[in-house]
Amino acid sequence: MKNIYFVDTSYILALEIKNEAADKQVLQNWAILAQSKPVLVTRKYIYDEVVTFFNIRNLHHKLKLVIASFQVPI
């Protein structure tokens, strides 16, 4: 059975924002997660925040990658 992780807005945005204080740790953690391919879940309001963040910055290609990584519960 795969591990299931809840991911919030700050973690997702820390992957993109290069001046984030914990940037190095977040990237290392993401690399470990990517290898194990866990199930990532979040809430709809977090999903909406992330979609807005990427759309405002015209980062639609990255948004597609993020969306593909998550299962969003109702």
pLDDT digits (tens, 9 = 90+) for 19-54: 766 777 888 888 888 888 888 888 889 888 988 998
**What is the arithmetic mean of pLDDT over 9-28?**
79
Residue with tokens 């299931």: 4
| Residue range of the domain that includes 25 | 4-71
- Quote the tokens at residue 23: 């940037």
Total number of domains constituting the chain:
1
- How remote is the C-alpha of 27 from its chain's centroid? 11
pLDDT at 49: 92
User: What pLDDT is stored for residue 71 in this prediction?
Assistant: 60
pLDDT value of residue 74:
44
pLDDT at 20: 61
Give the global pTM. 0.67
Is there a contact between 37 and 49 (Cβ–Cβ < 8 Å)? no
Q: Whole-number mean pLDDT of the chain?
A: 81
State the sign of the Cα–Cα–Cα–Cα dihedral 21, 28, 72, 66.
positive
